[in-house]
Amino acid sequence: MNRRRFLTTTTMTATAMSLGLGKAAWAADPLKVAFMYVGPVGDMGWSFQHDQARLAVDAAFGEKVATSYVENVPEGPDAERVLTQMALAGNKLIFATSFGFMDAVMNVAAKFPDVRFEHATGYKRADNVATYDARFYEGRAVQGTIAGSMTKTNKIGYIGSFPIPEVVQGINAAFIHARKVNPNVEMKVVWAYSWFDPAKEADAATALIAEGVDVLMQHTDSTAPQAKAKDAGIISFGQASDMASFGPTPRVSSTIDNWAPYYVERVKAMLDGTWTSQGTWGGIGTGMVEIGVITDAVPADVKAEAEALIASIGAGTYHPFTGPLNKQDGSAWLAEGEVADDGVLSGMNFFVEGITAQMPQ
Amino acid sequence: MTLGGIDLVALAAMLMVASTPILLAAIGELIAEKAGVLNLGVEGMMIMGAIGAFAGAVITGSPAAGFAFGALAGAGMALIFGFLTQVLLSNQVATGLALTLFGLGLSALFGKGFEGVRPPATEKLDFGALADLPVLGPVLFRHDWVVYFSLAMVVAVWLFLHFSRSGLILRAVGENHEAAHALGYRVVAVRMAALAFGGALAGMGGAYLSLVRVPQWTEGMTAGAGWIALAIVVFASWRVERVLLGAYLFGGVTVLQLRLQAAGYAIPVQLLSMAPYVITIIVLVIISARHRHGAQAAPAALGKTFHASR
């Protein structure tokens, strides 16, 4: 974990806690639902989308629920403290919205068997811990198709946050589909080791641009790389949120995380008493992943190809990880026509053949 | 000029941009600490400078006015700190931490209307033919004025501390406020001035982030840069030339590690990622250890509360 962030956020959460939880509910015993975010809700990306979904829960249930949130919670021991506070404050359903909260959620859930937990993008479950995730890689496949067709330098830059399955899936999916339309494409990867650090994300973007990339993808949460892409006159894709204000260029399309239907459904299950632990993995088909408008900066034929891909993924007729595919070291992974199973994907820790960047071990 | 596929000239130019926010904030904090005040609110002052400058630049359309607003916002925050610690005699550590929290929250509030807005661009200075010099041109003569301002501040602060009477008074206040008071110097006034100066520079550091380096406003965008500046002051053992070295080293290694990653070097990313912190600390500690001569590097009255009645 980034220690700079740790210092700031440790202290910040202390106040955020007192503010968030001071909002005690007066209505006749509403269901208390808490949300824990890894970044600020103003990041205009990942945490922003989760908070939009929280507001959708408020709108859907009115006085029957009381939601609260704590933002800027670092992925570490502090997460456990925040979760404990949330449980002690009487929240019956708690959403923890970052991969790194996984062990904290499991530890706190064991201490509060009556409280239900929902952990985003993780893979550990218990009787009172459900997981949910979106198939962001479906959006990356679309972006890869556009990127591969539009790059002139044949170099695509990718700003990764941490080398975890969710991010690795995205890099692989983007690369596979870029290669499909352009066999000369290269992928340059820079790891920021942070979900949210605008200055570092901007520096990473600058480094990639200096390396000659003319398409920029990011799996970090701020819009800083978009600003750098705009200055450099290259194209980019909105991440987590639409980032439409950067269109028509550099942002030529985006992957939007739409958590609202899922959150509403799960809160409703709590109210109805039908909540059970489960693992949900939604994609374009279920609406959890949406593709933002493809702008006119994209040539019409490329746009048509991307839209056909969206349709086939949404209809379930095409899976972005369909063989033949080899791993980076050349060993066989998927045979012709074989589709990756969710177990392998959710633990994905290898690049596919053709990517030259090293996977941090 | 390239080495191992990396353009060293471009790297040096990027390094100066990446280091400037931390350098500005660290020089400001150095002056405050030399006057004997430990202000842990650098992060809060920087982020207020970032939003103040951003708002100022967007509203007036002038980046220079933006920087002025950023400096004012930082200095304003520092004066709140000064009032609490110097007049009301509150604990400096607790007040400094509170100032950071306050700044982060207040800037988020002010910044709500500025998310996704583009600031006016800060132009690079035109040095004419100098900018076309090989190597030196891109490294030294193709920056915006703030980079040169930060370097000028290093020189100015060094001259001020070593060769001016007021610099001597400032250091006296920081080393032994009782003695300085007995000599008739106005300890609180000196400290307030030092704090305001430090706040203004921290504000400009934040302004550089939101107006040049990123450039946009995002909540919490300093992401710990203020803490790095604080640490650099300590590891530089309160010497301004070492602060410059520390800030450039930190910025340089940060930029270098990202370039190494982008170029696809097979160095473990975890090592690269921690390199800026580790290398900066090791280098500064070695330098400080070598030159200490048994004397305490920290100003003797640092963090101590001064009350004139004693």
Which of B18, B23, B249 lies closest to B150, judged by CA? B23
What are the C-alpha distances in Å from A91 to residues A20, A117, A269? 12, 10, 15
Contact: B216, A198; criterion CB under 8 Å:
yes
Give the residue from A71, A159, A203 with the most B CB atoms within 10 Å of its CB, the best one to mutate. Answer: A203
Other CB atoms within 10 A of residue A219 CB: 27
- Number of residues that make up chain A: 361
> Is residue A251 predicted with pLDDT exceeding 70?
yes
> Is residue A111 predicted with pLDDT exceeding 60?
yes
Range B99-108 average pLDDT: 93
Q: What is the largest CA-CA distance in chain A?
A: 63
Domain identity same for A186 and A300: yes
What are the C-alpha distances in Å from A37 to residues A70, A172, A187, A221, B189? 6, 26, 30, 12, 43
Query: Considering only CB atoms, which chain A residues are within 8 Å of B263?
Result: 188, 211
Distance from CA of A39 to the nearest CA of B (A): 9
Give the residue from A44, A70, A200, A351 with the most B CB atoms within 10 Å of its CB, the best one to mutate. Answer: A200
Query: Considering only CB atoms, which chain B residues are within 8 Å of A224?
Result: 214, 216, 218, 221
> Is residue A133 predicted with pLDDT exceeding 70?
yes
C-alpha B284/C-alpha B297 separation (Å) is 13
C-alpha A5/C-alpha A191 separation (Å) is 16
Query: Considering only CB atoms, which chain A residues are within 8 Å of B104?
Result: 8, 12
Range B215-239 average pLDDT: 89
Query: Considering only CB atoms, which chain B residues are within 8 Å of A207?
Result: 14, 255, 258-259, 261-262
Query: A81, A48 in Cβ contact below 8 A?
Result: no
User: Structure tokens of B19?
Assistant: 């280091």
> Is residue A26 predicted with pLDDT exceeding 70?
no
Which residues pair with residue A132 across a beta bridge? A120, A280
pLDDT of B153 reads: 96
Give SS3 for B176.
coil
pLDDT of A27 reads: 44
Distance from CA of A143 to the nearest CA of B (A): 20
Q: What is the pLDDT of residues B17-39, one digit of tens each?
A: 899 999 999 999 999 999 999 99
A110 or A11, which is more confident: A110
Range B201-229 average pLDDT: 91
Domain identity same for A90 and A184: no
Residue B112: pLDDT band with limits 50, 70, 90: confident
Q: Name the residue facing A199 among B111, B214, B261 (closest C-beta).
A: B214
Q: Name the residue facing B262 among A5, A188, A246 (closest C-beta).
A: A188
Domain identity same for A123 and A63: yes
Contact: A8, B104; criterion CB under 8 Å:
yes
- Given A119, A134, A149, which residue is the final one in a domain? A134
Residue A122: pLDDT band with limits 50, 70, 90: confident
Q: Name the residue facing B262 among A72, A208, A227 (closest C-beta).
A: A208
Side chain identity at residue A66, one-letter code:
A
Percent helix, percent strand, percent coil in chain A, to nearest 5: 45, 20, 35
Range A115-137 average pLDDT: 93
Q: What is the rounded (10 degree) CA torsion for A60, A63, A64, A66?
A: 90
Domain identity same for A333 and A250: yes
Q: What is the pLDDT of residues A30-58, one digit of tens each?
A: 999 999 999 888 788 899 999 999 999 99
Distance from CA of A311 to the nearest CA of B (A): 31
Query: A118, A95 in Cβ contact below 8 A?
Result: yes
C-alpha A214/C-alpha A233 separation (Å) is 8
Q: Which residue is closest to B20 within chain A, CA to CA?
A: A199
Query: A148, A185 in Cβ contact below 8 A?
Result: yes
pLDDT of B1 reads: 62
Q: What is the pLDDT of residues B138-158, one digit of tens each?
A: 888 888 999 999 999 999 999
Q: Name the residue facing B218 among A207, A222, A245 (closest C-beta).
A: A222
Residue A293 lies in a domain: yes
Residue A282 lies in a domain: no
pLDDT of B293 reads: 59
Residues ≥6 apart with Cβ < 8 Å to A47: A37, A38, A39, A40, A41, A71, A97, A196, A221
> Residue A76 sits in which domain range?
3-134
Contact: A11, B97; criterion CB under 8 Å:
yes
Q: What is the pLDDT of residues B158-194, one digit of tens each?
A: 999 999 999 999 999 999 999 999 999 999 999 999 9
Domain identity same for A79 and A145: no
Q: What is the pLDDT of residues A203-216, one digit of tens each?
A: 999 999 988 999 99
Residues ≥6 apart with Cβ < 8 Å to A68: A20, A21, A23, A32, A33, A34, A35, A86, A91
Counted domains in chain A: 2
For residue A250, whether the previous peptide bond is cis, meaning omega lies within 30 degrees of 0, is yes
pLDDT of A43 reads: 80
Q: What is the pLDDT of residues B56-70, one digit of tens each?
A: 999 999 999 999 999
Residue A181 lies in a domain: yes
Which of B10, B119, B16 lies closest to B67, judged by CA? B119
C-alpha A59/C-alpha B18 separation (Å) is 43
Domain identity same for A108 and A252: no
Domain identity same for A130 and A141: no
pLDDT of A79 reads: 95
Place of tokens 């641009």: A209
C-alpha A60/C-alpha B270 separation (Å) is 44
Which residues pair with residue A32 across a beta bridge? A66
C-alpha A244/C-alpha A238 separation (Å) is 7
Domain identity same for A120 and A199: no
Distance from CA of B10 to the nearest CA of A (A): 8
pLDDT of B214 reads: 86
pLDDT of B216 reads: 85
Contact: B213, A204; criterion CB under 8 Å:
no
Contact: B14, A198; criterion CB under 8 Å:
no
Tell me what the pLDDT averaged over chain B comes to: 90
Q: Name the residue facing A207 among B97, B213, B262 (closest C-beta).
A: B262
Other CB atoms within 10 A of residue A265 CB: 12
Contact: B214, A245; criterion CB under 8 Å:
no
Residues ≥6 apart with Cβ < 8 Å to A349: A163, A165, A168, A359
Give the residue from B258, B259, B260, B280 with the most A CB atoms within 10 Å of its CB, the best one to mutate. Answer: B258
Residue B285: pLDDT band with limits 50, 70, 90: confident
Range A252-271 average pLDDT: 94
Residue A105 lies in a domain: yes
Query: Considering only CB atoms, which chain B residues are within 8 Å of A8?
Result: 43, 100, 104, 220, 222-224, 227
Environment class of residue B97 by beta-carbon count within 10 Å: exposed (0-12), middle (13-18) or buried (19+)?
Answer: middle
Domain identity same for A125 and A165: no
C-alpha A233/C-alpha A252 separation (Å) is 12
Residue A206 lies in a domain: yes
Residue A248: pLDDT band with limits 50, 70, 90: confident
Domain identity same for A144 and A112: no
Q: What is the pLDDT of residues A214-227, one digit of tens each?
A: 999 999 988 889 98
C-alpha B201/C-alpha B223 separation (Å) is 18
> Is residue A267 predicted with pLDDT exceeding 90?
yes
Which of B221, B66, B290 lies closest to A72, judged by CA? B221
Residue B292: pLDDT band with limits 50, 70, 90: low
The backbone torsions φ and ψ at residue B302, rounded to the nearest 5 degrees and listed phi first, read -60, 125
Domain identity same for A241 and A228: yes
Query: A16, A70 in Cβ contact below 8 A?
Result: yes
Other CB atoms within 10 A of residue A308 CB: 12
Contact: B220, A223; criterion CB under 8 Å:
no
Contacts for B306-309: CB closer than 8 Å, 24+ residues apart? B306/B36, B306/B86, B306/B177, B306/B178, B306/B181, B306/B187, B306/B188, B306/B191, B307/B89, B308/B181, B308/B187, B308/B188
Range B95-110 average pLDDT: 94
Residue A54 lies in a domain: yes
Range A322-346 average pLDDT: 91
Domain map of chain B by residue range?
20-226
Contact: B227, A12; criterion CB under 8 Å:
no
Residue A97 lies in a domain: yes
Q: What is the pLDDT of residues A166-212, one digit of tens each?
A: 899 999 999 999 999 999 999 999 999 888 888 899 999 999 998 89
Q: Name the residue facing B218 among A194, A223, A246 (closest C-beta).
A: A223
Contact: A202, B108; criterion CB under 8 Å:
no
CATH of the domain at A213: 3.40.50.2300
Give SS3 for A292.
strand
C-alpha B243/C-alpha B233 separation (Å) is 6
Which of A160, A169, A196 lies closest to A44, judged by CA? A196
What are the C-alpha distances in Å from B127 to residues B130, B144, B151, B306? 5, 11, 17, 48
What's the ipTM?
Answer: 0.81
Q: Name the residue facing B43 among A8, A194, A207 (closest C-beta).
A: A8
Query: B100, B43 in Cβ contact below 8 A?
Result: yes
Residue A91 lies in a domain: yes
Query: Considering only CB atoms, which chain A residues are within 8 Å of B4?
Result: none
pLDDT of B38 reads: 95
C-alpha A123/C-alpha A346 separation (Å) is 7
Contact: A211, B10; criterion CB under 8 Å:
no
Contact: B227, A203; criterion CB under 8 Å:
no
C-alpha B304/C-alpha A350 separation (Å) is 54
Contact: B14, A197; criterion CB under 8 Å:
no
- Given A134, A158, A179, which residue is the final one in a domain? A134
Least confident of A111-115, B215-219, B286-290: B286-290
Domain identity same for A10 and A115: yes
Percent residues over pLDDT 70 in chain B: 96
- Given A78, A106, A134, which residue is the final one in a domain? A134
Distance from CA of A259 to the nearest CA of B (A): 22
Environment class of residue A98 by beta-carbon count within 10 Å: exposed (0-12), middle (13-18) or buried (19+)?
Answer: buried
pLDDT of B295 reads: 56
Contact: B97, A245; criterion CB under 8 Å:
no
- B5 sits in the region (left: phi over 0; alpha: psi -120 to 50; else beta) called left
Distance from CA of B105 to the nearest CA of A (A): 9
Range A258-262 average pLDDT: 94
Place of tokens 């034929």: A301
Contact: B264, A358; criterion CB under 8 Å:
yes
